[in-house]
C-alpha cells in the first residue's frame, strides 16, 4: 500500500494587502503540493485532496479536490492545487491525501503560509497583525501609523514610538535597516549598505541614551572587520582594549617592535640580519657591523618564511609608530638569523653575538669578558648550508 514517506509541503500565498501580484503569479488561491510517496511506480496517478480542521478525525473543510494524471518521478510528486478561498479563514488547516481512490495517507500535513513573490504597486499603507507596512520609494515596517516611512539619518524616528522597525530604500543610498526603537530613538540597529559612496558593508550600531546610534562594529566590502573604527586596516582592527583568556598565535614565533632604519647603512637591511642602535640617528637602527656590539637591538624578523607573531607599537609616536617604512625587530622568541662561523662552528645551545666579518651576521660568542650586553640569544640549530642561517632563540643579554 502506498504511504507518505515525507510530509507534504504546502505553500499558501496569503499576503495580498498593499501589493499587486507579479505577472507570473496570477493564481492567488493556488498552493504547491510537494510530497514523496513510497510504493508508487513511475507514471501518472490520481490524487484526492481533502482539508480538515484537525490532525486526526476532525471535520472536512470544503469539497474534495481531485487531480488526475499527476506525474510521479522516483516517488516524488509536485503539483499546483487550486483551493476554494473559503477554506482558509485564519483557522488551522490540515491536508489529507489519497492516491488512486485508496485510503488516506498518514499523517495529515499542516498547511502553513510562506512569503509570496509580489510586485510593489503605488505607495500605500496597510496594517498587518498590528504592524504598519509602508510601501513606496522606501519600505518600512513599524508599530505606529505615525512612523516615518524612512528613518532620518540622525537615528531618530518619531518621538513616542516604541518597538521594532525595518527600513529599506533603493535609490543612490541603498540600504536595509533592522532595529529596535525606544521612545523614538534607535537603541540597536543592523545596517546593510551598498550606496554610490560605499560598496557593500554591514554596520552594527547601539545607543546608550537619547542620541544618534553609534557604529560599534563594521564589516567592509573586502571582509575587514573594524571594532571602534570605520576604516579597518587589517583583517581585524580593534580601536580599544581587547581582553582574552588565552591568545593563541599561529602565524609567527617572535615578539617584535617596529623601528625606523637608519638612513646610512653599511648594507641594505634584510630579514634575518642582526640590527644595532645607531647613535648618530636617535631611535633608528642600522645593520650591526662590529664584533660583540653592546648596541645590538635584535634581529630583523621574517626570514626563511617565519614572520613575527606579534608586532607592538604606538601610533602617532615618532619613534614607535608602525608603518610601511618600519622594520619589525624581534625582541624575544624564535627567528632565523644569518650566521657565520669564523669564531667556531655553531652548535645548538651556543650563545650568539654580532660579527665583524659579515655585516648583519651573528657568530658564536666565546669571549666571556666581552659578552655582557652583546649576546643576541642562543642557537637552536646548526647553520643551514642552504640558507646560511640558524634558528635562534632571541634573548638579549
Mean pLDDT value across residues 279-283: 92
Mean pLDDT value across residues 329-345: 96
Q: CA-CA distance, 165 to 150, in Å (whole number)?
A: 10
Task: Give the pLDDT band of residue 189 (cuts 50, 70, 90).
Answer: confident
Asked if 299 and 394 count as a contact pair (C-beta separation under 8 A), the reply is: yes
Its pTM surpasses 0.75: no
Q: Any idea which residue has 480542521 for its cell?
A: 53
Tell me yes or no: is domain 3-113 CATH 3.30.43.
no
Predicted local confidence at residue 184, as pLDDT: 67
Predicted local confidence at residue 194, as pLDDT: 85
Domain with CATH 2.40.300.10 in the chain: 254-395
239 closest CA partner among 315, 188, 308, 310 = 315
Cα torsion at 368, 374, 378, 379 (round to 10°)? -100
Q: What is the pLDDT of residues 195-254, one digit of tens each?
A: 776 678 999 999 887 677 889 999 998 999 999 999 999 999 999 999 999 989 999 999
Predicted local confidence at residue 386, as pLDDT: 96
Of these ranges, 4-8, 248-252, 323-327, 358-362, the one predicted with the greatest mean pLDDT is 358-362
CATH label, 254-395, candidates 3.40.250.10, 3.20.20.80, 2.50.20.10, 2.40.300.10: 2.40.300.10
Asked if 333 and 394 count as a contact pair (C-beta separation under 8 A), the reply is: yes
What are 56's three cell numbers? 486526526
Domain with CATH 2.60.40 in the chain: 3-113
Task: Give the pLDDT band of residue 78 (cuts 50, 70, 90).
Answer: confident
Q: CA-CA distance, 397 to 294, in Å (whole number)?
A: 9
326 Cβ neighbours under 8 A, 6+ residues apart: 258, 259, 260, 313
Predicted local confidence at residue 199, as pLDDT: 77
Mean pLDDT value across residues 354-364: 97
Q: What is the pLDDT of residues 145-181, one digit of tens each?
A: 444 443 444 344 443 456 677 777 767 777 788 888 7
Asked if 48 and 163 count as a contact pair (C-beta separation under 8 A), the reply is: no
Asked if 353 and 374 count as a contact pair (C-beta separation under 8 A), the reply is: yes
Amino acid at each position: 500500500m502506498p504511504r507518505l514517506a515525507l510530509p507534504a509541503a504546502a505553500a499558501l500565498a496569503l499576503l495580498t494587502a498593499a501589493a499587486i501580484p507579479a505577472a507570473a503569479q496570477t493564481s492567488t488561491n493556488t498552493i504547491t503540493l510537494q510530497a514523496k510517496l513510497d510504493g508508487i511506480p513511475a507514471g501518472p496517478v490520481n490524487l484526492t485532496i481533502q482539508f480538515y480542521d484537525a490532525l486526526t478525525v476532525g471535520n472536512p473543510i470544503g469539497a474534495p479536490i481531485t487531480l488526475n494524471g499527476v506525474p510521479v518521478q522516483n516517488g516524488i510528486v509536485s503539483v499546483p492545487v487550486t483551493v476554494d478561498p473559503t477554506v482558509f479563514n485564519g483557522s488551522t488547516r490540515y491536508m489529507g491525501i489519497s492516491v488512486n481512490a485508496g485510503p488516506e495517507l498518514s499523517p495529515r500535513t499542516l498547511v502553513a503560509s510562506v512569503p509570496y513573490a509580489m510586485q510593489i504597486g503605488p505607495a500605500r499603507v496597510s496594517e498587518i497583525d498590528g504592524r504598519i507596512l509602508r510601501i513606496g520609494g522606501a519600505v518600512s515596517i513599524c508599530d505606529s501609523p505615525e512612523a516615518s516611512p524612512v528613518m532620518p539619518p540622525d537615528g531618530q524616528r518619531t518621538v513616542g514610538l516604541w518597538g521594532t522597525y525595518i527600513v529599506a530604500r533603493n535609490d543612490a543610498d541603498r540600504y536595509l535597516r533592522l532595529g529596535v526603537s525606544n521612545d523614538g530613538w534607535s537603541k540597536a540597529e543592523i545596517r546593510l549598505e551598498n550606496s554610490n559612496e560605499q560598496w557593500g558593508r554591514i554596520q552594527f550600531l547601539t545607543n546608550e541614551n537619547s542620541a544618534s546610534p553609534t557604529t560599534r562594529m563594521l564589516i567592509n566590502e573586502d571582509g575587514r572587520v573594524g571594532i571602534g573604527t570605520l576604516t579597518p586596516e587589517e583583517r581585524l582592527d580593534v580601536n580599544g582594549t581587547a581582553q582574552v583568556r588565552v591568545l593563541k598565535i599561529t602565524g609567527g614565533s617572535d615578539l617584535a617592535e617596529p623601528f625606523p632604519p637608519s638612513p646610512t647603512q653599511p648594507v641594505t637591511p634584510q630579514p634575518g640580519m642582526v640590527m644595532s642602535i645607531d647613535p648618530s640617528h636617535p631611535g633608528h637602527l642600522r645593520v650591526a657591523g662590529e664584533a660583540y656590539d653592546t648596541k645590538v637591538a635584535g634581529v630583523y624578523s621574517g626570514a626563511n618564511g617565519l614572520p613575527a607573531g606579534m608586532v607592538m607599537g604606538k601610533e602617532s609616536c615618532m619613534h614607535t609608530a608602525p608603518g610601511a617604512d618600519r622594520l619589525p625587530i624581534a625582541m624575544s622568541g624564535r627567528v632565523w638569523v644569518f650566521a657565520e662561523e669564523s669564531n667556531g662552528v655553531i652548535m645548538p645551545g651556543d650563545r650568539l653575538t654580532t660579527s665583524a666579518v659579515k655585516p648583519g651576521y651573528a657568530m658564536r660568542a666565546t669571549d666571556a669578558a666581552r659578552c655582557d650586553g652583546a649576546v643576541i640569544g642562543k642557537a637552536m640549530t646548526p647553520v643551514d648550508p642552504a640558507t646560511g642561517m640558524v634558528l635562534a632563540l632571541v634573548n638579549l643579554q
